[in-house]
Structure 1
Amino acid sequence: MSRKKIEDLRSQRWFGATDLRSFGHRSRAMQMGYGREDFMGKPVVAIINTWSDLNTCHSHLRTRAEEVKRGVWQAGGFPVELPALSLSEQFVKPTTMLYRNLLALETEELLRSHPIDGAVLLGGCDKTTPATIMGGLSMDLPMIYLPAGPMMRGHFGGKILGSGSDVWKYWAEKEAGNITTAQWNDMEAGIARSAGTCMTMGTAATMMAIAESLGLCLPGASSIPAVDAAHPRMATACGRHIVEMIWQDLRPSTILDRKSFENALIVHNAVAGSTNAMIHLVAMAGRAGVKVTLQDFDDFAQKVPVIANIRPSGDWLMEDFHIAGGIRALMSRLKDFLHLDAKTVTGTLGEGLEGAEVYNDDVIRPLDKPIAASGGTAILYGNIAPDGCVIKPPAAEARLLTHTGPAIVFDTYDEMSAAINDEDLDVTPDHVMVLRNAGPIGGPGMPEWGMLPIPKKLLKQGVRDMVRISDARMSGTSYGACILHVSPEAHIGGPLAAIRNGDMITLDVPNRSINVALTDAQITERLKSWSPPPRDFPRGYNWLFARHVRQAHEGCDFDFLEGSKGIPEPEIH
C-alpha cells in the first residue's frame, strides 16, 4: 500500500502553501499558542465531540477528547477538537431522532469546511452513533468511531437494575400499587450510577456493537464501560491509530462493503439488538452506497441465534457482557456466520478476533444453548403495513405472538396518555392498542412512544403485556408485544389511518403478518374521508425535516443526503 506524502495531506492546502491565505491560517494557529512545529507537515485530526452538560451519557467525553489528543500527539499528528450537536436521549424533546440527520449533516460539514485529514468520532447515546458515522461516511475521510461505553450497573434493595428496562417494569408495579413512592425514589437514586450510556442492550449498546462489527472501531472498543480505566486507554489508542490511517489513506469507502453490513446484521441479531437499528443501519448503508432492506433483517434473524443473554431480552447487563469477553468474544462464537475477511480500521475482522475468549457461558451463550434459536427481530407485512413494520419477539410474552383482538385507537399521544389512567376505559387484555400519527412526519421525528403503557385498569388485574401497534419507535431498552415503525405512517395516509375502534386485528409473527379485517376497498374508502391532525411547520429545521425525511423502511434519512456521491471540496482562497 502506497503511503501519503506530506504534500498529499488535505490540510496542507490550508497550511502548506506560500500564498497570503495560508499566511493567515498559520498566523491564526500561532495566535492560539501553537508553534509551526506543532502543525506544519503533520496530519490534522478532528475530534468530533458530542459532549454537553445536558448529555448524561457523554459527561466523560470532555476528558476523553483530551485523551484522544494525547494519542494523536504521540503519533505525530495535530489534534483539533470540534464540538458537534449533542443529542441527549433523556433531555431532547420530542425526540433525538428528529435531529439525527442534523448531526449527520453537521459532522459532514465540519469535516469538509476545516483543514482536516481524518477524524475520531466521539458518541454513544443512541442517535450520535449513526449520525456521526453517517456524516463521516459521506465525507469519506479516514475515521475511527470511539464509543462512549455503557454506565455501571444500577442497584436497588440489593437487586441489580438495568436502565430503561427495569424502569418500565417497576413503573408498572408502582401504578398497580405494589411499590411505594419511597421505594420508587430509592430506585431513582440508584439506577444511573456513572457516566455512560444505558447498560442494557438498548439502542446505544446496539449501535456501538454495530459500529464495531462494521469495522469502524478498534477491536473491543464497543463494550468497555465508560468509567473503566481501559476506556481512556482506548481513547488514546484511537488517537494514535487514526494518524496511521491517514498516512495509509484508509477511508470508509475502502473498508465498507456488503460483507461489512452483513456482519452488522448478524451481530445485531445475536445480541437481540434494538429495533431502532433497522432505521439506522439502513440509513448508514445508504451513505456507504450499500443497499440494506428490512427483509435483510428478517432473513438474518431467521438463521442467526440470539446468544447475548442481556436485558431486556435476557438477564445480564453490559458490564457483565464486557467482563465475559465483550463483543470480540461474542463474534468469536459467530465465526461460522461472519465474513472474517471483511476489512476494518485495523486489518480484517478475523485478525481483530484473534485471542478472543468467552469467560461466562451464561452471559454469552454457546451456539447450542442460545436465548432463542432465531428471531431476534421479525419484520411483518400486511394491509396495516404494506412497507413493513418490526417486532422483537424475545422481548414479548410468547402467547401474544399469534393474537387476534379488537382495536382501541388513539390519534395522539396525549389522548392515549389520558385514556390509560381512566379505570373506566373500555379495554380488555385481548384488545390491540393502536397509536398513530407518531411517525417520521406525524411525530414529528418518530418519537419513542411505541411501548404504549398498559392501561392502569389492566395493570391492577395483573396484565403486564398486550399487543400494541404504532408508527412510532420505542426505546431499545423497552420490551413487550410492540409492533413498531408501521410504514407508511398514518400522517401521510398509510393504512393505519383507516383503523377504527373495534376493528379486528390479527398478529401472526411466525408467518410474518399483521392485518386488519378490512378489504383494500374498505381501507381506500375510509381514507377518502380522513385527514391528518394539523402539523404546520412554517420555518426552521422542522420545516426542512417534514419536507425531506424518508419513511421508516427507508431509514428516515433526508432525500438530499442519501447515497455515496461525493461533494466538491471547498475552495481555499
Structure 2
Amino acid sequence: MTRKTPTTLRSARWFAPDDLRSFGHRSRMMQLGYAEEDFRDRPVIGVLNTWSELNTCHAHFRDRVQDVKRGILQAGGFGVEMPALSVDESFTKPTSMLYRNMLAMETEEMIRSHPLDGVVLMGGCDKTTPGLVMGALSAGVPMIYLPAGPMLRGNYAGKTLGSGSDAWKYWDERRAGNISDAEWRGIQGGIARSAGTCMTMGTASTMTAIAEALGFSLPGASSIPAVDSGHQRMSAECGRRIVEMVWEDLTPNRIATPAAFHNAALVAMATGCSTNAVVHLIAMARRAGVAMTLDDLDALGRTTPLIANVRPAGKDYLMEDFHYAGGLRALMKQLEDRLDCTAMTVTGRPLGENLIGAEVHNADVIRPLSNPVYHEGSLAVLRGNLCPDGAVIKPAACDPKFHFHEGPALVFDSYPDMKAAIDDETLDVTPDHVLVLRNAGPQGGPGMPEWGMLPIPKALIKQGYRDMLRISDARMSGTSYGACVLHVAPESYIGGPLALLRTGDIVRLDLAGRRLDMLVGEDELQRRRTAWQAPEPRFQRGYGYMFSRHVTQADKGCDFDFLQTDFGTAAGEPDIY
C-alpha cells in the first residue's frame, strides 16, 4: 500500500484547505489552546475511552488514556480523547447487551464525523470490545484495540476467588444455609480487589483474547493485568503504533479477513471461551463482510481441544496465572499448525511473525495439545424442534451426565416468575426436571439478559444438587457454568418453538448428536402454534423501539439489520459536504 502523506491524511480535509470552513476548524482548535503546529500535517488520533465512574472494569482508564496520548505524541501524532458509551456490565439493567449496538453506532458515527486519521479503542468490559470493534470496522479508519486487562485474583480466608464463578458457587451454599452472614460479607469484599475485568475466562477475557487473535491488539496485550505496570507500557505502545498504522494506511479491512476470524474462533474454543463469544463473533464478522455461521463455530468446537486451564471451564487457575504462563501468544504457539499464520495484524506483520519466541512457562495452565483440559473446544451448537436456528451449550463447564438427558419441562414465562418459584421449597421439582425460561431473548428480554444460568431450586440445593439441565433463549455470564442451553433461536417472544413448550412435556438433549428436541407430536405443535398470541411490544419509543424492530436473532449476532454490510453503504464521509 502507498504510504500516507500529510496532504492525504483524512484530517487534512478539515484543516488544510484555504476556505471559510477550514478557517473555522483551525480557529476552534486554537480556542482549545492548540497551535497549528500541534494538529496540522500530523495524524490526528481519536482515543475512544469507555471510562466512567460506574464502570469498575475501566476504573484505571482515566490514567491509561494519558499513557496512550504520550505514545501518540512520541510518534509524532496528535491525540484527542473522546468519551464513548461505557456499557458497564455490573450496573446496567436489564442488560448491557441491549446497548452493545448503541456503542457500535456511536463509535462508527464518532469516527466518521470527526477529523480522525486513526483510533485507539479503549475497552474490556464485556460488550465494549465487540461494540467498539464493530463500529470501527464499519468506519474503516486504522484502529488498534487496547484491552482493559483482568483484575487481580480474589481472596478470602486464604482461598482464591474467581469473578462470577465463585459468586454463583457460594450463593448456592448460602441458599442452602451453609454460609454465614459474616462469611458472605467477607467473600463480597474479597472477590473484586482492583480495577480490571473479571479474572476468570468470562466474556471480557474471551473477547479481548478474540480481539488479539483477530490481529487488532498488540501481541500479548489481552491478558496483562490491569494494575500491572506492563499495562501502562502497552498503552503507550498502542499510541505509538497507531500513528505508524495511519502512515502505513493499515486499515481494518486488511486485518479482518476470513482467515483472521477463523483464527479468532479457533483460539476462542481453545481458551474455554464464554458462550457470549458466539453472538459477538458472528456480529463482528458480519460487519467485516465475513460469512461466519453457527455451523462454522460448531465444526471448530468439535476439533479444537480446550487447553487453557482457566476457570470456569478449567479447574484451577485465573487470568493472572494465564498471563504469567505466557498468555495468548503462548497458547497460539501451541495451535500454530492450526492457525493461518499469514493473517495480517496491527503490528504490520503476519500473525506467525508475532508468535516467534513465544513460550509456555507453566504447562498446567496452558496445556499441550496432548494433554488438554477437555478433548473438544468450549462450545457446541445444537439444533432440533426446540431450536431450528440453533442453540449453544458449553459442554466442558457442565456435568457429563447431562450430555444426554431426558426429563419433563418446568416452564417459566418470566424471570420474576422463575425467581419466585425456585425459592419456594414446596416446588414440585426433581433433579431430572428441565428448567425452562422463555421470553428472555433479544426482543423478549429485552436485550437477551444473562439469565440463562437459572438457579437450582432451593429444595434441590438443600438435598445437595448443584447442577441440572436448563434451557432458555437468554444468555449467561461467561463466568457461569452448568448444564445450560442458551441462545435458543428463534426466540419465544416472536413465536419460536420454545413458546410452544409446556410444563410436563419431555425434553431430550443429545449432545453427541447435537440435538435438542421436545418429544411432542407435530399435530399437537401445530395446534399450539395456531393458539399462540404475540405479546405486546416491549417498547413504544426511543432507542428500545428501534432496537426491537431491527435487532437480529442470536444466530445472526443480534446486530441491527441496517448496520450489516449487505444492507447498503454509508454516505457520511465529510468530503461530500
Q: TM-score with structure 1 length normalisation?
A: 0.99
Q: Contact 2:383–2:515 (CA<8 Å) still a contact in 1?
A: yes
The CA deviation string for residues 124-179 of structure 1, in whole angstroms up to 9 with x for no partner, is: 00000000000000001000000001000001110100000000001001101111
Q: Distance in 2 between matches of 1:259 and 1:187?
A: 43
> Secondary structure of 2:86's match?
coil
> Secondary structure of 2:524's match?
helix
1:557 is matched with: 559
Bigger drift between 292-301 and 520-529 goes to 520-529
Q: Distance in 2 between matches of 1:521 and 1:88?
A: 46
The CA deviation string for residues 459-504 of structure 1, in whole angstroms up to 9 with x for no partner, is: 0000000000000000000000000000000000000001111000
> Secondary structure of 2:28's match?
helix
> Secondary structure of 2:284's match?
helix
1:173 is matched with: 173
> Secondary structure of 2:441's match?
coil
1:343 is matched with: 344
> Secondary structure of 1:155's match?
strand
Report the alpha carbon displacement of residue 532 of structure 1 after superposing the two structures with TM: 4.1
Provide the aligned C-alpha RMSD in A: 0.9
1:372 is matched with: 374
1:416 is matched with: 418
Q: 2:489 aligns with which of 476, 487, 490?
A: 487
Report the alpha carbon displacement of residue 563 of structure 1 after superposing the two structures with TM: 1.3
Q: Distance in 2 between matches of 1:390 and 1:509?
A: 10
Report the alpha carbon displacement of residue 203 of structure 1 after superposing the two structures with TM: 0.4
> Secondary structure of 2:562's match?
coil
2:321 is matched with: 320
Report the alpha carbon displacement of residue 123 of structure 1 after superposing the two structures with TM: 0.3
Q: 2:500 aligns with which of 482, 492, 498?
A: 498
1:182 is matched with: 182
1:397 is matched with: 399
Structure 2 unaligned residues grouped into runs of 5+: none
Q: Distance in 1 between matches of 2:369 and 2:146?
A: 29
The CA deviation string for residues 387-439 of structure 1, in whole angstroms up to 9 with x for no partner, is: 00000001001111110000000000000000001000000000000000000
Report the alpha carbon displacement of residue 300 of structure 1 after superposing the two structures with TM: 0.4
Q: Which amino acid aligns with 1:104?
A: A
The CA deviation string for residues 517-573 of structure 1, in whole angstroms up to 9 with x for no partner, is: 112332221122122443341110000000000000000000100117642313576
Q: Contact 1:14–1:572 (CA<8 Å) still a contact in 2?
A: no
Report the alpha carbon displacement of residue 181 of structure 1 after superposing the two structures with TM: 1.1
Q: Say yes or no: does 1:331 pair with 2:335.
A: no
- Alignment coverage as a number of residue pairs: 573
Q: Distance in 1 between matches of 2:289 and 2:205?
A: 25
Q: Contact 2:203–2:478 (CA<8 Å) still a contact in 1?
A: yes
2:513 is matched with: 511
Q: Distance in 2 between matches of 1:485 and 1:538?
A: 25
Q: Which amino acid aligns with 1:195?
A: A
Bigger drift between 515-524 and 205-214 goes to 515-524
Q: How does 1:112-511 map to 2 (within 5 A)?
A: 112-314=112-314, 315-346=316-347, 347-511=349-513
Q: Distance in 2 between matches of 1:133 and 1:159?
A: 36
Q: Contact 1:138–1:566 (CA<8 Å) still a contact in 2?
A: no
Q: Contact 2:46–2:79 (CA<8 Å) still a contact in 1?
A: yes
Change (3 A) 1:146 1:566: farther
Q: Distance in 1 between matches of 2:302 and 2:436?
A: 27
2:44 is matched with: 44
> Secondary structure of 2:563's match?
coil
Q: Distance in 1 between matches of 2:526 and 2:439?
A: 18
Q: Distance in 2 between matches of 1:98 and 1:284?
A: 16
Q: Which amino acid aligns with 1:156?
A: Y
Q: Distance in 2 between matches of 1:524 and 1:263?
A: 42
Q: Contact 1:13–1:572 (CA<8 Å) still a contact in 2?
A: no
Q: Which amino acid aligns with 2:429?
A: V
> Secondary structure of 1:557's match?
coil
Q: Distance in 2 between matches of 1:149 and 1:294?
A: 28
Q: Distance in 2 between matches of 1:357 and 1:194?
A: 28
Q: Distance in 1 between matches of 2:533 and 2:511?
A: 31
Report the alpha carbon displacement of residue 363 of structure 1 after superposing the two structures with TM: 0.3
Q: Distance in 1 between matches of 2:474 and 2:544?
A: 17
The CA deviation string for residues 444-467 of structure 1, in whole angstroms up to 9 with x for no partner, is: 000000000000000000000000
1:89 is matched with: 89
1:567 is matched with: 570
Q: Distance in 2 between matches of 1:340 and 1:221?
A: 18
Q: Contact 1:144–1:217 (CA<8 Å) still a contact in 2?
A: yes
> Secondary structure of 1:541's match?
helix
Report the alpha carbon displacement of residue 283 of structure 1 after superposing the two structures with TM: 0.4
The CA deviation string for residues 313-354 of structure 1, in whole angstroms up to 9 with x for no partner, is: 112000000010000010000101111111111111011111
Q: Distance in 2 between matches of 1:199 and 1:512?
A: 31
Q: TM-score with structure 2 length normalisation?
A: 0.98
**Identity across matched positions, percent:** 62
Q: Contact 2:440–2:448 (CA<8 Å) still a contact in 1?
A: yes
Q: Contact 1:139–1:566 (CA<8 Å) still a contact in 2?
A: no
Q: Distance in 1 between matches of 2:454 and 2:374?
A: 25
Q: 1:524 aligns with which of 520, 526, 529?
A: 526
Q: 1:539 aligns with which of 537, 541, 564?
A: 541
Q: Distance in 2 between matches of 1:386 and 1:521?
A: 17
> Secondary structure of 1:407's match?
strand
Q: Contact 2:101–2:560 (CA<8 Å) still a contact in 1?
A: yes
Q: Contact 1:472–1:484 (CA<8 Å) still a contact in 2?
A: yes
Report the alpha carbon displacement of residue 103 of structure 1 after superposing the two structures with TM: 0.3
Q: Contact 2:446–2:538 (CA<8 Å) still a contact in 1?
A: no
> Secondary structure of 1:300's match?
helix
> Secondary structure of 2:217's match?
coil
Q: Distance in 2 between matches of 1:146 and 1:521?
A: 54
Q: Distance in 1 between matches of 2:385 and 2:313?
A: 29
Q: Contact 1:5–1:247 (CA<8 Å) still a contact in 2?
A: yes
Q: Distance in 1 between matches of 2:535 and 2:404?
A: 32
Q: Contact 1:146–1:238 (CA<8 Å) still a contact in 2?
A: yes
Q: How does 1:4-23 map to 2 (within 5 A)?
A: 4-23=4-23
> Secondary structure of 2:291's match?
coil
Q: Distance in 2 between matches of 1:318 and 1:566?
A: 40
Q: Distance in 1 between matches of 2:555 and 2:526?
A: 22
Q: Contact 1:437–1:532 (CA<8 Å) still a contact in 2?
A: no
Q: Contact 2:444–2:538 (CA<8 Å) still a contact in 1?
A: no
Structure 1 unaligned residues grouped into runs of 5+: none
1:54 is matched with: 54
2:30 is matched with: 30
The CA deviation string for residues 165-203 of structure 1, in whole angstroms up to 9 with x for no partner, is: 000001001101111111010000000000000000000
Q: Distance in 2 between matches of 1:396 and 1:478?
A: 10
Q: Distance in 2 between matches of 1:507 and 1:572?
A: 56
Q: Which amino acid aligns with 1:142?
A: P
Q: Contact 2:175–2:461 (CA<8 Å) still a contact in 1?
A: yes
Q: Contact 1:43–1:246 (CA<8 Å) still a contact in 2?
A: yes
> Secondary structure of 1:361's match?
coil
Q: Distance in 2 between matches of 1:523 and 1:117?
A: 56
> Secondary structure of 1:289's match?
coil
Q: Distance in 2 between matches of 1:472 and 1:548?
A: 18
Q: Distance in 2 between matches of 1:537 and 1:566?
A: 28
Q: Contact 1:134–1:287 (CA<8 Å) still a contact in 2?
A: yes
Q: Contact 2:443–2:538 (CA<8 Å) still a contact in 1?
A: no
